[in-house]
Structure 1
Amino acid sequence: MSTPTPPPGCPAHRLFGPEAEADPTTLYEKLRAEHGAVAPVLVPGDLPAWLVLGHRENLDVARTPSRFSRDSRRWRDMREGRVPADHPLTPIAAWQPVCNFADGADHERLRGAVTASLERFDRRGIRRYVTRFSNQLIDAFAEQGRADLVRDFAEPLPMLVMTQLVGMPDEYGPRLVEAARDMIKGTETAVASNEYVTVVLRQLLERKRAAPGRDFTSWLLEHGTPLTDDEIIEHLRLVLIAAFETTANLISNTLRMVLTDSRFRARLSGGHMTLPDALEQVLWDEPPLTTILGRWATGDTVLGGQQIKAGDMLLLGLAAGNLDPDIRPDLTVPVHGNRSHLAFSGGPHECPGQDIGRAIADTGIDTLLSRLPDVALAVDEAALRWDTSLMSRHLTALPVTFTPKGPSTTGATPAPRETEPPVTVPASASAPVAPSAPKRSLWARLFGGR
């Protein structure tokens, strides 16, 4: 069997464990110095893979599915039985009937339905939802003069907005936020949370089939390319959870930058940098996903001077590629408005919902800073902590203080929307409350930390 092999004296580094979790940026630069634009690494289970560190090489992999497929059934280690059902990567890498794992005509069929449905949204309507929910979230803590902007704002906002976009009744927004948070953090009730989301989505699908509306679920059902019920449900889940984690990270990272970098905040408040510019800067410096797993070589090839064998797994190093000295020789130089970063990947699998994510983050942060102009970090910056995994690095908390404020005049009034019957959820799939003892789950393995 042929596997990624480092030069003599340069052992492959693990992309998990204390070294990778403590300081992934330093690890990327160490790998770049030892191996160049593509480095042999080990993923959980000490399975070999290639981490793509170069910006140009990342785009090469993302844009050429004929050489680097998204179909995980090509992964040699999985085909040869080295990735058992209980392996940490199985929930991420096992093939599923979603566009993320398809190439060619099948990918075009699935991706076309998703993209066409997302493009039907009115961006002004999305921003109205964001403003409404942002004000409601801020109202919940404004009078206290303190908050945790991760728990109280960045995490719930994307899911509250996305539940509206998929056509969920209002009352299920908060419950889905808790279920998604539970799944990602990998608590002992994560399986029940997953069942809850599945039941809700399946009942949503049936209701929209009977009474379609102006929402993502109805538009998937109406699309000219017929999708099976399972395909629709899996894509609804994919959109909800991906938007939840990535947009929450983008909001948290941008707020942290505003609160800890005085020059960044001064440029923003002084009008020298717009909030959309600030978001692009953060997408360069701290992308919501640090790594994407994966691509699989369709045949023997060469990438970044490395000999890649058919069936090898490659990881797109989004954070590492954004720091590539060939394109950013001086990281202190602002990259305002430059969208050539890798935060949303590239090629045929580039994130189709990136503009919605930007709209949620932009409008939400703008609303927060307008309502709480003197918001300040409540702890020393060195006290901030992150959860780090193979694919992401996210703040665990962002405690702040500010002058207490009264409720808004707009946040408490729900926006008009069509009347829909409530979703009936079996008791076995009720929305969980966070328990004490954590346990790894499929979503924890995908996005979460230890």
Structure 2
Amino acid sequence: MSTPPTPPPGCPAHVSDTNGTRRLYGPEADGDPKGLYEKLRAEHGPVAPVLVHGDLPAWLVLGYRENLEVARTPSRFARDSRVWRDMAEGKVPADHPLGPMVSWWPVVNFTDGEVHERLSSAVMDALQGFDRRGIRRYITRFAHQLVDEFSEKGHADLVADFAAQLPTLVMTQLIGAPEEAGPLLVRAAQDMVNATETALESDRYVTSVLQQLLETKTATPGRDITSWLLAHESRLSPEEVLAHVRVILIAAVQTTANLIANTLEMVLTDGRFRADLSGGHMTLPDALEQVLWDQPPINTVLGRWATGDTVLGGQEIKAGDMLLLGLAAANVDPDASIRPDAAPVHGNRAHLAFSAGPHECPGQDIGRAIADTGIEVLLARLPDLEPSVAPGELQRSGTLMFQQLTGLPVSFTPRPRREAAAPAVPAAMPPVVVPAAMPPVAVQTQAAPDAAPVSAGTPRRRSWWKRLLRRS
């Protein structure tokens, strides 16, 4: 049974970089996280000692079975960050980069036991309040609007122009915010999760929008997540409702955007998928599932904290230690029998892209729907999409939690915008003050027909997407 290396005097457990403990931040982790995971697996097995920002010690769980063990046993591995020994001992400064993601507050993703059950039931019921057709209408409408912004140009960046915007535009409607708030919420939410210099300003903007939304829905309930949380039998306080609407909105931003971008990248650039899709053997849902295995939208989930001394994957875990769920590493665990020989995984949802256990992502079906329907609209409107750069030229930017595609430039035959309809009447809500650092994203408001017209004189390239859009 291996133990972390002994640090020099005065250092917390397994912190010393001179003892070979690898950092989960910096050039190696950000540039090639999958390569780093495999080095750690080779050196330490399914659970590896690592350092997070500030050289704070943690354990990265790499094994599939070990990830399930941690995720499914909150009695041993709590979601409550107040258990974290380093934070209790004052070793985590107030401005620590991981602060927003590990600082405890009474929301569903930081609680366990009866409190978690109460909050989780409210969140699950609110998320399930929409029928599939209703959600699909929202997604279709906004996807068409985004495509209209670049369809006449013959070129676009599918990350910035499509994947990064669609999830928040849809979620804005699902939480009941007025439509005109969507574009700015897109920018603000992205700014927050990317921890930019204006993140605090964006944070204040999101909070002000949601506070006004809460006041509006308290007075005039509607058919939306905010109203359903307010009315739920779990009797959430206004503060709890605000916190959970915020969690739902922010959680959808980067994860679903990454899922859309990663799926588009794989289908556009990977020869295996291009061949399968053109031959009609793989549907779009199949492609999404393959991406959830190979390039999940979240690499690492922060965090769990050991409630007592225990053993995991051959490592001695001490009470108060922090653990990180390595979802991307678990999906390719060579010791797991879930995916023999890395074969295609059509219909296999045993991956950990959405984690597992009591804290498995409650909004995963909505995320899948946004990605699936949004990409379907995009490919129907622009069936001859082609990458503008070689696959090797595409780049990713890395953080501890995410590896996001920075751009996906494409070209296609220019096509006309759809005929615009009169804009919808927005919900009544007081205007919010827009931070100067956040210029709005222009998104047109118009109706969304089921099919996009193409003028008779528009030349068509041969489409290899045709079979993809035929659902089996």
Equivalent residue runs for 1:82-121 within 5 Å: 82-121=91-130
Q: Secondary structure at the match of 1:288?
A: coil
Aligned-residue offset at 1:183? 2.2
| Separation of aligned partners in 1, 2:212 and 2:16 | 54
| Separation of aligned partners in 2, 1:173 and 1:7 | 46
| Separation of aligned partners in 1, 2:251 and 2:341 | 28
Q: For residues 38-58 of structure 1, what are the alpha-carbon distances to aligned partners after superposition, in whole Å with 9 as ceiling and x for unaligned?
A: 011111111111000000100
Quick check: 2:15–2:56 contact (8 Å CA) kept in 1?
A: no
Match of 1:341 in 2: 351
Match of 1:130 in 2: 139
Match of 1:240 in 2: 249
Gap regions ≥5 residues in structure 2: 1-9, 441-472
Which protein has the larger Cα radius of gyration, Structure 1 or Structure 2? 2
| Separation of aligned partners in 2, 1:265 and 1:206 | 49
Quick check: 1:192–1:430 contact (8 Å CA) kept in 2?
A: no
Match of 1:397 in 2: 407
| Separation of aligned partners in 2, 1:37 and 1:187 | 33
Q: Secondary structure at the match of 1:41?
A: strand
Count of residues in Structure 1 that have an aligned counterpart in Structure 2? 430
Quick check: 1:28–1:53 contact (8 Å CA) kept in 2?
A: yes
Match of 1:260 in 2: 269
Q: Does 1:381 align with 2:396?
A: no
User: Residues 415 and 345 of structure 1: is their aligned pair in 2 closer, same or farther, counting only changes over 3 Å?
Assistant: farther
Q: Secondary structure at the match of 1:45?
A: helix
Aligned-residue offset at 1:419? 5.6
Q: For residues 16-59 of structure 1, what are the alpha-carbon distances to aligned partners after superposition, in whole Å with 9 as ceiling and x for unaligned?
A: 11111111111111111111110111111111110000001000
Match of 1:74 in 2: 83
Quick check: 1:4–1:308 contact (8 Å CA) kept in 2?
A: no
Picking from 419, 423, 432, the partner of 2:438 is: 432
Q: Does 1:60 align with 2:69?
A: yes
Equivalent residue runs for 1:289-304 within 5 Å: 289-304=298-313
Match of 2:55 in 1: 46
Aligned-residue offset at 1:431? 7.5
Larger relative contact order (CA 8 Å, sep ≥ 6):
1
| Separation of aligned partners in 2, 1:331 and 1:180 | 39
Aligned-residue offset at 1:121? 1.0
TM-score (normalizing by structure 1): 0.91
Picking from 172, 183, 195, the partner of 2:181 is: 172
CA RMSD of aligned residues (A): 2.1
Quick check: 2:208–2:432 contact (8 Å CA) kept in 1?
A: yes
Q: For residues 212-231 of structure 1, what are the alpha-carbon distances to aligned partners after superposition, in whole Å with 9 as ceiling and x for unaligned?
A: 00000000000001112221
Match of 2:234 in 1: 225
Gap regions ≥5 residues in structure 1: 435-450
Please identify runs of 4+ aligned residues in structure 1 that moved more than 6 A: 6-10
Match of 2:379 in 1: 369
Picking from 138, 162, 173, the partner of 1:153 is: 162
Quick check: 1:20–1:27 contact (8 Å CA) kept in 2?
A: yes
Aligned-residue offset at 1:3? 6.0
Q: For residues 64-97 of structure 1, what are the alpha-carbon distances to aligned partners after superposition, in whole Å with 9 as ceiling and x for unaligned?
A: 0000000000000000010010111222111112
| Separation of aligned partners in 2, 1:181 and 1:62 | 27
User: Residues 431 and 129 of structure 1: is their aligned pair in 2 closer, same or farther, counting only changes over 3 Å?
Assistant: farther
Q: For residues 144-173 of structure 1, what are the alpha-carbon distances to aligned partners after superposition, in whole Å with 9 as ceiling and x for unaligned?
A: 000000000001100110001000111111
User: Residues 311 and 2 of structure 1: is their aligned pair in 2 closer, same or farther, counting only changes over 3 Å?
Assistant: farther
Q: Secondary structure at the match of 2:236?
A: coil
